[in-house]
Amino acid sequence: MANQEDNLFKNVISHAKEYGFIFPSSEIYDGLSAVYDYGQNGAELKNNIKEYWWKFMTLLHDNIVGIDSAIFMHPTTWKASGHVDAFNDPMIDNKDSKKRYRADVLVEDAVAKLQDKIDKEVEKAAKRFENFDRSMFVSTNARVLEYQKKIDEANERLKAAMNNSDMAAMKQLIEDLEVTCPISGTRNWTEVRQFNLMFSTEMGSVAEDANKIYLRPETAQGIFVNFLNVQKTGRMKIPFGIAQIGKAFRNEIVARQFIFRMREFEQMEMQFFVKPGEEMKWYEYWKEKRMQWHKTLGLGDGNYRYHDHLNLAHYANAACDIQFNFPMGFKELEGIHSRTDFDLKSHEKFSGKKLQYFDTEDNQNYIPYVVETSVGLDRMFLSVLSSSYKEEKLEDGSERVVLRIPAPLAPNKVAILPLTKKDGLPEKAMEIMNELKFDLRCFYEEKDAIGKRYRRQDAIGTPYCITIDHQTLQDNTVTVRDRDTMKQERIAVCELRLKLIDACSINNLLRRI
Ligand code: ATP
């Protein structure tokens, strides 16, 4: 990470703590690695993101319904899904620094460095030649061709090593690429070992009878095992979807980067059941729809891009990520996968229960195909927080830190600020707050100078500050200060409610998709 981005990320993290968004878990005991708690402002922002997603799925699509399945599931679920046998990451330790890494990530980083070298060669040449032809250059320049050959070879070998779970081949690849530990700078590596990411615990009060069960590593399986329950009780006709928001747990090997990679996190997943053969049409549909949902937030269209998967998981026939430009660069925010009939078929096999759909139009039974959209709620949170965090220099030479959070997602919508603590202004302010609080989350504050109070609201992303002054008592008007422009407008109290609801409503945001 470049230094500037590194600093920005550090500032975002400390801001999140200082202003009640995110705290390290059990901090009084020095925290728990890669586990975080959401504070009073964080919980509100998180709930608003959930609402935006849930309503998009279940209100805007009359063929999608939501469920809430348990975190604990019958252990066979995870045999059937493939997680017991295959939900592994290859890990490797550097013997000098004692640091642990994901072996595949080390290879990917080495490949990215080779790609950087190509980009630099191209950049250099582009400066040197007029009428520079990029594709001609990369297909003829000897050095570029050599780097490209190394990249292709490394990708091929990585794919083969992962598919065959061949950890010796993975180690050899790391050695051949001359990967060094970023901490110790040495190539003194251990063997590569497979590590299952599922957390397990025991259910049952008597040790001998206890059953080993898992904390779910994804919410999707709770949807698959309920496919028939929902289809039958909801009289759902294919194509239809089941949505769910809930916790998932993964014992990640390298859990750094704040809430980007946590051991306990939350997913918002939707499985869309379609007729076999129609999955690619729906895959394209959801790719597009999900991107629209993201972009409508207004965090900047250039911050999103698709990343198609070249190495498909065994159950998928198409997959891509929507990546976001996080402070540490473009990384996965959401996955969109065409999962074929793998999961339902496998649950049929392991449970012995038929999980099929009777299509009355075709007069036939089939196991539906599935297109999945899966977005991490915490990564969504980080995308909103990091892109809305701004350190600004103002015209008068002063500085402010402001969170330009999209108004419908902001923890508080309005701050109600009586100019002074006397002359009946607090009473008038409370009267206004009592009128607004049913529709908008309000924050009341009468301490400190008004400028200071504005700054505090900027720092937690409150889009509007309402100031109640002496004129309010005479003509029933207040000033409304806009967080982003800092402009103030005088407006009649009776107009406040509708105007603010209009600007802050999640439903209005949904209308723009
Ligand atoms: P990655 O490649 O980053 O490990 P993944 O491909 O394993 O992610 P999926 O299994 O597709 O992720 O999960 C769907 C979504 O859940 C991801 O796009 C991400 O937003 C979120 N997610 C996955 N793992 C974590 C984690 N450890 N912490 C926070 N969010 C996560």
Give the CB-side neighbour count of residue 191, counting CA atoms within 13 A. Answer: 6
pLDDT band for position 210 (50/70/90)?
Answer: low
CATH number at residue 403: 3.40.50.800
Nearest CA to ligand 1 atom 10: 218
Q: CB of 335 closer than 6 A to ligand 1?
A: yes
Q: Note whether 312 and 225 are same-domain residues.
A: yes
Nearest CA to ligand 1 atom 20: 376
| Mean pLDDT of the 159-184 span | 94
pLDDT in tens, 11-40: 999 999 999 999 999 999 999 999 999 999
Q: CB of 355 closer than 6 A to ligand 1?
A: no
pLDDT band for position 335 (50/70/90)?
Answer: very high
Say how many Å lie between the first and final Cα of the chain, rounded: 33
Q: Note whether 228 and 374 are same-domain residues.
A: yes
DSSP-H helix ranges across 270-422: 279-296, 342-351, 377-388
The model's pTM is 0.90
DSSP-H helix ranges across 261-371: 279-296, 342-351
Q: Note whether 103 and 8 are same-domain residues.
A: no
Dihedral over Cα of 308, 313, 316, 321: its sign: negative
Q: Is the pLDDT of residue 255 over 80?
A: no
Question: Cα of 447 to ligand 1 centre, how many Å?
Answer: 43
pLDDT given at position 136:
86
CATH number at residue 92: 3.30.40.230
Which tokens sit at 71?
């975190």
pLDDT in tens, 493-511: 999 999 999 999 999 999 9
Least confident of 18-32, 196-210, 319-333, 467-481: 196-210
Instruction: Give the number of the atom of ligand 1 that is nearest the alpha carbon of residue 321.
Output: 18
Task: Name the domain boundary from 173, 196, 219.
Answer: 196
Q: Is the pLDDT of residue 311 over 80?
A: no
pLDDT given at position 462:
98
pLDDT given at position 141:
87
pLDDT given at position 415:
98
Question: Cα of 4 to ligand 1 centre, how many Å?
Answer: 26
DSSP reduced 3-state for 22: strand
Q: Residue 453 is part of which domain span?
A: 395-511
Q: CB of 42 closer than 6 A to ligand 1?
A: no
For the chain, percent of residues with pLDDT exceeding 90: 86
Q: Would residue 117 count as lying in a domain?
A: yes
Q: Note whether 218 and 333 are same-domain residues.
A: yes
Nearest CA to ligand 1 atom 25: 261
E-strand stretches of 10-168: 22-24, 36-38, 64-67, 88-93, 100-102
List, in order, residues 6 or more apart from 370 with CB less than 8 Å away. Answer: 224, 271, 272, 273, 274, 279, 338, 339, 340, 341, 343, 344
Nearest CA to ligand 1 atom 18: 334
Question: Cα of 397 to ligand 1 centre, how many Å?
Answer: 42
Which tokens sit at 405?
């959070």
Instruction: For a ligand 1 pocket test, name from 253, 267, 338 the mutation site with the most ligand atoms within 8 angstroms of its C-beta.
Output: 267
pLDDT band for position 206 (50/70/90)?
Answer: low
Q: CB of 332 closer than 6 A to ligand 1?
A: yes
Q: Would residue 426 count as lying in a domain?
A: yes
pLDDT band for position 440 (50/70/90)?
Answer: very high
Question: Cα of 434 to ligand 1 centre, how many Å?
Answer: 42
Q: Note whether 130 and 277 are same-domain residues.
A: no
pLDDT given at position 211:
84
Q: Note whether 328 and 476 are same-domain residues.
A: no
Q: Would residue 178 count as lying in a domain?
A: yes
Instruction: Give the number of the atom of ligand 1 that is nearest the alpha carbon of residue 262.
Output: 28
Q: Would residue 44 count as lying in a domain?
A: yes
Nearest CA to ligand 1 atom 12: 335
Q: CB of 379 closer than 6 A to ligand 1?
A: yes
Q: Note whether 387 and 243 are same-domain residues.
A: yes
Q: Note whether 412 and 360 are same-domain residues.
A: no
Nearest CA to ligand 1 atom 16: 376
Q: Note whether 362 and 263 are same-domain residues.
A: yes
Q: Would residue 201 count as lying in a domain?
A: no
CATH number at residue 296: 3.30.930.10
Distance of CA 51 to the CA centre of its chain: 15
pLDDT in tens, 88-103: 999 999 999 999 999 9
Nearest CA to ligand 1 atom 4: 261
What is the C-alpha to C-alpha distance for residues 446 and 431, in angstroms, rounded to an integer? 14
Nearest to 272 by CA among 81, 77, 64, 513: 64
Q: Would residue 82 count as lying in a domain?
A: no
Instruction: For a ligand 1 pocket test, name from 257, 332, 337 the mutation site with the most ligand atoms within 8 angstroms of its C-beta.
Output: 332
| Mean pLDDT of the 361-371 span | 95
Q: Would residue 98 count as lying in a domain?
A: yes
Task: Name the domain boundary from 393, 417, 446.
Answer: 393
Total of domains in the chain:
3
Q: Would residue 83 count as lying in a domain?
A: no
What backbone phi and psi angles, to 5 degrees, belong to 55? -70, -40
Q: Note whether 93 and 242 are same-domain residues.
A: no
Q: Note whether 374 and 387 are same-domain residues.
A: yes
Q: CB of 250 closer than 6 A to ligand 1?
A: yes
pLDDT given at position 1:
54
Q: Note whether 408 and 343 are same-domain residues.
A: no
Task: Name the domain boundary from 169, 196, 223.
Answer: 196
